[in-house]
A and B are shown apart, each in its own frame.
Chain A
Amino acid sequence: AQKVTQAQTEISVVEKEDVTLDCVYETRDTTYYLFWYKQPPSGELVFLIRRNSFDEQNEISGRYSWNFQKSTSSFNFTITASQVVDSAVYFCALSELYNTDKLIFGTGTRLQVFP
């Protein structure tokens, strides 16, 4: 069975601190996709990144970076120099390679960034 675990329920940081959100997944598939989504207070989920299981390269996008380690089944997300606007709930998700509309979500991590 597929499962995504986000052990951190809530994280509070002060602006400009770096913060890492953890994600551990379980799947029997050898090929799959991993995602991160952000949910601001307005409710809609905003796509941040998609990574397929073939590609273990880390990725950096501005202040965001992602560390994918297949050996530990982890896909962690780091925000560098956090800002108040980063405050949101962040979800990690998993899908089959050819079934990306059916996402298995983790329980989310609520990030609060204080000024």
Chain B
Amino acid sequence: KAGVTQTPRYLIKTRGQQVTLSCSPISGHRSVSWYQQTPGQGLQFLFEYFSETQRNKGNFPGRFSGRQFSNSRSEMNVSTLELGDSALYLCASSPLDRGGELFFGEGSRLTVL
């Protein structure tokens, strides 16, 4: 069974640009969550989608947005990039039944110059 796939794995952007990251969950998983990992703030929850609806949102500015498609694939977008947005962005999927474990992808490492 294929795991969670995130693309691109690495990318470099400059301040002010925007970026879109993609996540393909494990087949059959309908819930997708996004996390940001930085050396300073650690792992922080961004948002969670289930059946194309955002169910939860973390404490991030409106520049961070996401969506989920009917095939459960998800994208997150960061607009007007700032240096502090440099991070590893991790996507996770989970089975329909809540209370289960999250399955994480290897992440997309974003560097903002």
Interface on A for B, CB 8 Å cutoff?
A: 33, 35, 37, 42-47, 50, 52, 91, 97-108
Residues in B whose Cβ lies below 8 Å from that of A97: 99
Min CB distance B26 to A, Å, is 12
Residue from A50, A91, A99, A104 within 8 A of B101 (CB atoms): A50
| CB-defined contacts of A101 to chain B, threshold 8 Å | 31, 33, 48, 55-56, 92, 94, 98, 102
Inter-subunit contact B104/A45 (CB<8 Å): yes
Whether B94 lies near A44 (C-beta < 8 A) is no
Total residues of chain B contacting the partner, CB 8 A: 28
Chain A residues whose CB sits within 8 angstroms of the CB of B42 once the complex forms:
105-108
A44 to B31, CA, bound (A): 17
- Please state if B98 and A98 are interface contacts (CB–CB under 8 Å): yes
CA distance A44 to B23 in the complex (A): 13
User: Once the chains bind, are A46 and B104 in contact (CB under 8 Å)?
Assistant: yes
In contact, B100 and A105 (Cβ under 8 angstroms): no
B90 at interface by CB-CB < 8 Å? yes
| Minimum CB distance partner of B108 in chain A | A43
In the bound assembly, the distance between CA atoms of A50 and B102 in angstroms comes to: 10
